[in-house]
Structure 1
Amino acid sequence: MTFTSADHADDHTAVETRIIEGRLEPGAPDWVYIPVDVPPGVAEIGVRYSYDQPEPTIGVPGNALDIGIFDPRGHEPRQAKGFRGWSGGARDSFFLNDTEATPGYLPGPIRAGTWHIVVGPYTVAPRGLAYRLEVTLRRGAPGPAFTPRPAPTRATGRGPAWYRGDLHLHTVHSDGRREPAELVAAARSAGLDFMVSTDHNTPSSTGIWGHHAPEDLLIINGEEVTTRNGHLIAAGLPAGTWIDWRFRAVDGVLPRVVGELHEHGALAIAAHPFCPDVGCAWKFGFAEVDAVEVWNGPWTPDDEMSLRQWDAALVASDRRWLPAVGSSDSHDHSDAPGLGQTVVWADDLSPEAILSGVRAGRSYVAESAAVEVTFEARANARTARIGERLAVAPDVTVECVVHVRGVPDGFVRFVTDEGSLAQLPLPVGGEGAVSWTTTAAVSKYVRVEVRHTPPQPTVFEGMAAFTNPIFLDPQAS
């Protein structure tokens, strides 16, 4: 798509529009790039697109086409410096200029040169996908440069304490429905101490959180890296940092991507590993990631399967175990932030302290701020808490004690490497202590599930909370 600079060289207010149409067939590449030659003197780029969406046939996919844009600094996967925005399939138009941009896109200079609009055929119907792109260039003097205002790097905390947060949240900067201010209000209403902003494939929201961050809520920058083989939560990125999502498991680049996250001090969390939606289930394995999102939104069979898979791997790698986390993955106003939520023991309310607690597994997952759980294992005057190890002679009795609040009509399940070894009721009011004993010879680890007692038999009970494990390490007497 070419715009001829000579046509309007003397007209600094001209607006030009070009249209291009194309067609994609089943089996099209994951990403298709349409070059757009932008002449000097352009102040704003606007893009509108549409594509045919036939009535879906049962058993076959319909059409879904995502969109984004790169500037002349480069667009090649894993080498791109020109990323300027992504909205996936959340909107049919966007604009960007020096001063502002559509949510999901980055304000900044409109450089002369070849830009690339990227379209991603998420699914293509058997009859193909016809699309139409309308690109509008507006000439003029550049506006004032956008000034980022990222979130503060610390919030008012309570010193070493349990802090509640949601590690997976969306706004209008991707496919969420909440404005940033609305999400902050919802997070505070849910009793959260921290939240991680994880819009799909873009860091655009990181430049505005400082306008909305209250003193008592820590906002951590992140991104949901949305590949075709699963979604990766990058939690704890520096403001403005973008992680390229254009890869599949067979490309073998996940170790490099995770290494990049670690260089930034961020965590790599495998999101909703058994999500049934196209491209959402995690297909990369778990050797590289720092944690797995076992609880995602209301407790469903997907979460139950994630829990069982995670549990099955807890003793497979000896000292290198994978902590579990929970998040709401909230998109719509009807999605409650904090359902689920990760409750982390941290030294303070800062990104470094919170992420350190998550990485160490010093956490449990709960359905709301009304639910509190403490869990300790005791033997020989020594105590281990969630995420820790207790060295004890194989035959010495270990007392496992759980304190629960906020779960009426519930029960506590003690789970070890052998499975569920005890299931004990909570007091009627939902608050109280439950204890159980074992030994290191019997149990390599112990973790706790707090579940709702169902009114009638069911395949699995509703989850109120579950903890990361305490490991019991046998030692010679």
Structure 2
Amino acid sequence: MDGSTGYSRLFSGTLTRTDSHTFKRFEFFVPPGASEVMLRLTYAPRREELQVPLTAQEFRGRWSREIARYRGKVEMAGDHELAAFFERFVDEASRRVQPLQNLLNVAVFDSRGSFRGRWDSPQHFGQWVTVGEAHAARGFVAGAIPPGKWIAVLECHAVVTDICSYELEVRCATFAGLYWRGELHAHTNHSDGMLSPRELVDAAHEAGLDFIAVTDHNTVSALYELGAVSAADAPDAAGAGDSCGPLVIPGMELTTFYGHAVALDVSEFIPWHDASKGDGLNKQAREVRRIGGLFSIAHPFSVGYPVCAGCEWEYDNTDPALVDLMEVWSGPWTARIMWNVLAMRWWDELLCKGYRITGVAARDVHRREDLFGRETADTYVWACSLSRGELMDSLRTGRVYVSSGPRLDFSLAVGDCDRPYMPGDRVQVTRGGRVGLAVRVLWPADAADDDDRHPHARARTNAHADAGRLVARVVRGVRGQGANVAFESPLLRDGDGRVEFEDAPVTDVWYRCEIVADSRSGLPGPRFVALTNPIYAEVISSETC
């Protein structure tokens, strides 16, 4: 499913003469993937609407303060002829400058605080001006369009009429993104996997994946065999599978005595032999980040020593701020439900403490059949194109959902604003203001057209066939208070599987969506079919789309 394809915002108001020499600041949000920002300013009236021009005496009366200010400068010169000339000048000017004009301009600053240009009335009045990556209107600066909070400053140079009404329109054009499907944890026969690196990539292609991470235990040698890196430039090379297969994401699973962590988008060995249980693996997490990778806690509640030495996460003092991702759905859901329930609870706990950690799925692939297992989930990552850079950015941001079958779209809308927000977004809402939460599920048959836009991905047609009654749930988390299921509704398998909810938050919250099946006897909770990452809502005093 596509991400947001556009965003618009209208700021309007009324000025009076007392607003001359003041500024009005307007914040607007540029979504990730935006290719250009467009602005248009109009205001009315543009000038005084006089039935008849003011007489010189009337003009002097209306603008007496300004005339007196300038007269003072003339008188300081001590020149009587200059002073007399000034009085004649005022009378002549009163006839020539009427009607006086209002003058408003707009300066624009991007989310990095960089000046991006200034809207000037004479050349741009009533016209759309564009700030783009490659091109920009006169007076504006072309360049990268960073997402986030931009600021438009309305410069009120002169308001000479009793009232002046203005409208500032902002639009953002975005590239239509896609959710790309893949696997973030897989092994080859360079560690304990059964497949060669090429066989693993071929199996991922057969499974319809767009990307696969090769993450062998404590080695990156498989990446050389794949050509993802070369012996000469291993640390810096950007590797991928061939053009007929999925994108290969280089990585390594740090397999330590007290826990496993997947380092994604790294092509070099990460030393860990000096790690101790007391240091939380924080040094290694910092190193992964330093070289541009992502640090992901793997299967944190797997059974550990002596059954699976090191598989359980036993580090008690890991700094959550250094954790980018966490595997919250490991392997088949029912077979590993205890692992996954505990991982989900820990994830929610960290989210409610203010840490933004992206939840992902992982099969921990060792055999070909692992890629086709029932009740296992794919990780879907939103990006404009299938590239390592974009995938890593979206994983870091949380533009991610995981699913064992259906495609899932979860969005949030603020009041009457046009733009829908998606997982990973941060949105500002008015305290007690309405937010709409929309859930849309596409079953594999309905998703066929969507899959045609992916080079490799194919819908998983049998993963949910025996799921029974399905329910859409929205989990709401409050910082410092915890998370709970705030809304739920049954899902129909016919039609577009759409349900909607409303909320009115009074404090900072986050929302994420879950699709679950009826509980099975003896299991600690329902079987999960899909879940999203959170949308973060920050409560403020005034609404911003």
TM-score (norm 2): 0.54
1:420 aligned to which of 485, 493, 499: 485
Tell me the residue number matched to 1:144: none
Matches within 5 A, 1:203-352: 203-210=220-227, 213-215=241-243, 216-238=245-267, 241-250=268-277, 252=279, 254-278=281-305, 279-284=310-315, 285=318, 286-299=320-333, 300-317=337-354, 320-336=355-371, 339-352=376-389
**Is the 2:438–2:501 Cα contact (8 Å) retained in structure 1?**
yes
Matches within 5 A, 1:34-433: 160-210=177-227, 213-215=241-243, 216-238=245-267, 241-250=268-277, 252=279, 254-278=281-305, 279-284=310-315, 285=318, 286-299=320-333, 300-317=337-354, 320-336=355-371, 339-367=376-404, 370-380=405-415, 381=417, 382-406=419-443, 409-417=469-477, 418-429=483-494, 431-433=496-498
**Is the 1:326–1:340 Cα contact (8 Å) retained in structure 2?**
yes
Residue identity matched to 1:345: W
**Is the 1:450–1:463 Cα contact (8 Å) retained in structure 2?**
yes
**Is the 1:413–1:448 Cα contact (8 Å) retained in structure 2?**
yes
SS at match of 2:184: strand
Q: CA deviation at 1:459?
A: 2.4
**Is the 1:404–1:430 Cα contact (8 Å) retained in structure 2?**
no
Residue identity matched to 2:311: C
Distance in 1 of aligned mates of 2:530 and 2:369: 22
**Is the 1:237–1:261 Cα contact (8 Å) retained in structure 2?**
yes
Distance in 2 of aligned mates of 1:266 and 1:337: 28
2:500 aligned to which of 424, 429, 435: 435
SS at match of 2:369: coil
Distance in 2 of aligned mates of 1:210 and 1:202: 15
- Structure with the largest fraction of helix: 2
Structure showing greater radius of gyration is: 2
**Is the 2:203–2:368 Cα contact (8 Å) retained in structure 1?**
no
Task: Give ranges in structure 1 of 5+ residues lacking alignment.
Answer: 1-157
Distance 1:246 1:430, change over 3 A: farther
Q: CA deviation at 1:250?
A: 3.5
Distance 1:309 1:200, change over 3 A: same
Q: CA deviation at 1:476?
A: 0.5
RMSD: 2.3
1:467 aligned to which of 509, 529, 532: 532
Cα deviations by residue, 1:245-275 (Å, 9 ceiling, x for unpaired): 3244445373332222123211110111101
Residue identity matched to 1:321: R
**Is the 1:167–1:327 Cα contact (8 Å) retained in structure 2?**
yes
Q: Which runs of 4+ in 1 moved over 6 A?
A: none
Cα deviations by residue, 1:176-208 (Å, 9 ceiling, x for unpaired): 112222211221222211110000001110101
**Is the 2:216–2:251 Cα contact (8 Å) retained in structure 1?**
yes
Query: More deviation in 228-237 or 336-345?
Result: 336-345
Q: CA deviation at 1:165?
A: 1.2
Distance 1:442 1:276, change over 3 A: same
Q: How many residues align?
A: 314
Q: CA deviation at 1:433?
A: 0.6
Distance 1:457 1:296, change over 3 A: closer
Residue identity matched to 1:227: T
**Is the 1:344–1:358 Cα contact (8 Å) retained in structure 2?**
yes
**Is the 1:342–1:366 Cα contact (8 Å) retained in structure 2?**
yes
Q: CA deviation at 1:442?
A: 6.7
Distance 1:466 1:249, change over 3 A: farther
Percent of residue pairs bearing the same amino acid type: 32
Distance in 2 of aligned mates of 1:430 and 1:199: 42
SS at match of 2:205: helix
**Is the 1:254–1:288 Cα contact (8 Å) retained in structure 2?**
no
Residue identity matched to 2:256: T
Distance 1:365 1:297, change over 3 A: same
Distance in 1 of aligned mates of 2:207 and 2:406: 12
SS at match of 1:181: helix
TM-score (norm 1): 0.62
- Structure with the largest fraction of strand: 1
SS at match of 1:464: strand
Distance in 2 of aligned mates of 1:457 and 1:258: 38
Cα deviations by residue, 1:1-31 (Å, 9 ceiling, x for unpaired): xxxxxxxxxxxxxxxxxxxxxxxxxxxxxxx
Distance in 1 of aligned mates of 2:471 and 2:242: 37
Cα deviations by residue, 1:76-99 (Å, 9 ceiling, x for unpaired): xxxxxxxxxxxxxxxxxxxxxxxx
SS at match of 1:313: helix
SS at match of 1:308: helix
**Is the 1:378–1:398 Cα contact (8 Å) retained in structure 2?**
yes
SS at match of 2:493: coil
